[in-house]
Amino acid sequence: MMIIDFHNHVYPPDYVKEVEKGPSAYSVTYDDDGNPVLHSPGDYNILVPGHRLMDVRQQVIKDAGVDKQIISFTAPGTLIETPDRSVELSMKINDLYAEIQQAYPDQFPALATLPLNKPDACAAELKRAIRDLGLKGVCLFSNANGVALSDECFWPMYEVANELNVVCFIHPTFPTGVEAMEKYMLMPAVGFLMDTTLATASLLFSGVVERFSNLRWVLGHLGGAVPYLAERLDRCYEAFPESRAHLSEHPTTYLKSHFYYDTVNFDVDALAFAIKFAGADHIIAGSDYPHQIGSITKMIDSIHRLDISDEDRAGILGDNAAKLLSL
């Protein structure tokens, strides 16, 4: 069975050099193993070789039996930079991703990143990334420094995405209310999942999903709490006029048709619940490699432990992602 890992992250070395050169809201140090450590306000990422070196990553996925990884940037991305610098760095990342995709066409298709803190620049950069660079979709963070993805400032971006039938991967970033999550790593443990859920509900109830109906959305980390809370979204649609003002059907109709859910939740019972909710054809494999909290091994093992047909398993492992991105 073909295995495609939809959810994993790359920091190109030339991007790290650009941040070191500045200006940037990040600072860069190095750990005892020589790995760059990218420091952002209240957080840091240790960029291990798998984050940066594609030959290392190539060997890792070969050893694991993974055929492709759909590479994407990760939070907080360029959101913490000044708006103009965010545009510069987003373009730099997309250029570097296009180079990786060209160098490894069979292994590392790439998703674009956008300067979401400068909304009026997003449409043009999305068009450039998809049409000119040939990237396979776009990774959107779950909010743009507190501005919802459903905000009308992003609608020109969605117009372009809708015209080009773009796949939009929603990855969480610093959640709204993050000040309550400063201890115990509560941000990745809880906040990321809640912010994905909030972003999804807002995109639904605002009418963005219905208005831009050509878009297909992929939710990281099994959709956060979306499958679990979907019935409640339907009840809000039935109970509150403002919840159905921009929707012609129940939220679950769209959650089962327009949305896909990656398997970065390695609990078999949680995966089984998501399959029951959305259907096996809307579940796609994801590892969160090479973050500390990610695991290619657990991704594969959890999918193999599911009590499903071989056809459904093949879909989740790779066929669904291949179809979604026309690979």
**Could you tell me if 129 and 105 are in contact, meaning their C-beta atoms sit under 8 angstroms apart?**
no
How do residues 235-257 score in pLDDT, each as one tens digit?
999 999 999 999 999 999 999 99
pLDDT at 109 over 90: yes
The overall average pLDDT reported for the chain is 96
The amino acid at residue 248 is S
Number of neighbouring beta carbons within 10 Å of residue 202:
17
Q: What is the spatial distance between Cα 88 and Cα 85, in angstroms, rounded to a whole number?
A: 5
Q: What is the DSSP string of 249-282?
A: S-HHHHHTTTEEEE-----HHHHHHHHHHH-GGG
Average pLDDT over residues 63-75: 97
What's residue 181's pLDDT? 87
pLDDT at 27 over 80: yes
Residue 144's DSSP bridge partners are 147
Banded model confidence at residue 144, pLDDT cuts 50, 70, 90: very high
Chain centre distance of CA 122: 17
Residue 218's DSSP bridge partners are 169, 260
Number of neighbouring beta carbons within 10 Å of residue 98:
18
Angle at 66 between CA 62 and CA 70, to 5 degrees: 115
ω into 290 cis (within 30 of 0): yes
**Token code pair at residue 119:** 């909304």
How do residues 85-102 score in pLDDT, each as one tens digit?
999 999 999 999 999 999
What's residue 178's pLDDT? 85
Domain boundaries, the chain: 4-324
What's residue 153's pLDDT? 98
Coil, strand or helix at 144: strand
What's residue 232's pLDDT? 98
What's residue 261's pLDDT? 98
Distances (CA, A) of 87 to 28, 170, 269: 20, 19, 41
What's residue 44's pLDDT? 84
Class of domain 4-324 (CATH, top level)? alpha beta
Residues of the chain above pLDDT 90, percent: 94
Chain centre distance of CA 137: 10
Q: What is the spatial distance between Cα 285 and Cα 155, in angstroms, rounded to a whole number?
A: 29
Banded model confidence at residue 43, pLDDT cuts 50, 70, 90: confident
**Could you tell me if 282 and 219 are in contact, meaning their C-beta atoms sit under 8 angstroms apart?**
no
Residue with tokens 């605002």, as numbered in its chain: 206
Banded model confidence at residue 177, pLDDT cuts 50, 70, 90: confident
Banded model confidence at residue 116, pLDDT cuts 50, 70, 90: very high
How do residues 277-314 score in pLDDT, each as one tens digit?
999 999 999 999 999 999 999 999 999 999 999 999 99
What's residue 42's pLDDT? 72
How do residues 181-209 score in pLDDT, each as one tens digit?
888 989 889 999 999 999 999 999 999 99
Q: What is the spatial distance between Cα 88 and Cα 195, in angstroms, rounded to a whole number?
A: 26
What size, in residues, is the chain? 327
Q: Looking at 30-39, 62-71, 143-152, 178-187, which range is the least confident one?
A: 178-187
ω into 23 cis (within 30 of 0): yes
Average pLDDT over residues 58-86: 97
ω into 76 cis (within 30 of 0): yes
Say which residues have a Cβ less than 8 Å from residue 193's Cβ, sequence separation at least 6: 172, 221, 224, 225
Average pLDDT over residues 37-52: 90
> What is the Rg, in whole angstroms, of the alpha carbon atoms belonging to the chain?
19
